[in-house]
Amino acid sequence: MYELIILSFLARWPLHGYRITKIINDMIGPYARLSNGRLYPLLTKLEAEGLIVTAEGAEPQSGRRHQRVYTITEAGRLRFHALMLDTTSNPGEYQRIFWYKVPCLNLLDLHERLYLLDHYITYCQTHIFHLTAEIEDLRQHYAQRHPTSADELAATLCAMEHMVRLWRLELDDVMQWRARVVAGAERPEASEASEASEASDTQAGTPR
């Protein structure tokens, strides 16, 4: 996950290590923290693999040495692209991973963006279907299995219904984002069609 996040930053801008740490901690906080002791070995590994390169920063902070600036390589961009399109690794963590991908969707082709969005739509629907079926099964059979645990059943159903509501919110958000991506793709096409029509009318002697 951190490899994807780091490469996604560097695919957009060169960054100092301390800035990478700050942005990641802003994203994953407040309780999960990425320490420098964990970040810099990962940066060293990415550099050894040829995915990033470093240079000395031009403007050191007062009283400090020049900061190392990290930049992505072409191999790093290919690795970033592969990580973005990967939907099979760590399926149990994919909810978090997907939302780390969303800010970088504009770095992909339209069909790749739609592929990821459609995959996540199915991912959400699968969770909703599974939980809904399990809730119905519990309602029908829990009393037979645990006849003296009515309070436990109510608490279990409350937790599961809460998860269904969360997944429906996830689904609603990604459906809205997909509609936005499609609308954004259609606008340039409409503009190009209008320009082509105007050019055709002008050539025919009927300017609009």
Cis peptide bond prior to 14, omega within 30° of 0: no
Please state whether 89 falls in left (phi above 0), alpha (psi between -120 and 50) or beta. beta
How many degrees, rounded to 5, is the angle at CA 101 between CA 1 and CA 188? 160
- Provide φ and ψ at 69, rounded to 5°: -100, 130
Q: How far apart are CA 173 and CA 176, in angstroms?
A: 5
Contact 18, 67 (CB under 8 A): yes
pTM more than 0.75: yes
DSSP-based three-state secondary structure for 183: helix
pLDDT tens-digit profile, the chain (208 residues)? 889 999 999 999 999 988 898 888 888 877 778 888 888 999 999 999 999 999 865 454 555 555 789 999 999 999 999 999 999 998 989 999 999 999 999 999 999 999 999 999 999 999 999 999 999 998 888 767 666 677 888 899 999 999 999 999 999 999 999 999 999 988 765 444 454 445 445 444 544 4
